[in-house]
Amino acid sequence: MRQVITYKDEDNYWIAECPSLKGCISQGETKEIALKNIKEAISGHISALEEDGLPIPEETFETGSIPLLP
């Protein structure tokens, strides 16, 4: 399982990225499409690392919220 961040860009496309896999990013016209695309991107990214005999980074990304100061 991998953490994924989703957000809308300035063109109203949904961006999805996987912070634990550097450079693994995708997009879509809807959030659902972006999530489908990032799943494929994550799978391809991990397969490419395995094929090249490179280590697969561990999932270490954490999210949280902090209060804003007044």
Of 67, 18, 59, which Cα lies nearest the Cα of 42?
A: 18
pLDDT value at residue 61: 75
Averaged pLDDT, 2-24: 95
Considering the domain boundaries, does residue 45 fall inside one? yes
**What per-residue confidence (pLDDT) applies to 65?**
82
Which pLDDT band, with edges at 50, 70 and 90, does 63 fall under? confident
Instruction: Look up the domain containing 32 and give its range.
Output: 5-51
Residue 8 has pLDDT above 90, yes or no: yes
In a domain, 61, yes or no: no
pLDDT at 32: 97
- How many folded domains does the chain comprise? 1
Q: Is residue 20 part of a domain?
A: yes
Read off the pTM: 0.84
- Please indicate, yes or no, if residue 68 is contained in any of the structural domains: no
Decide if pLDDT at 68 tops 90.
no
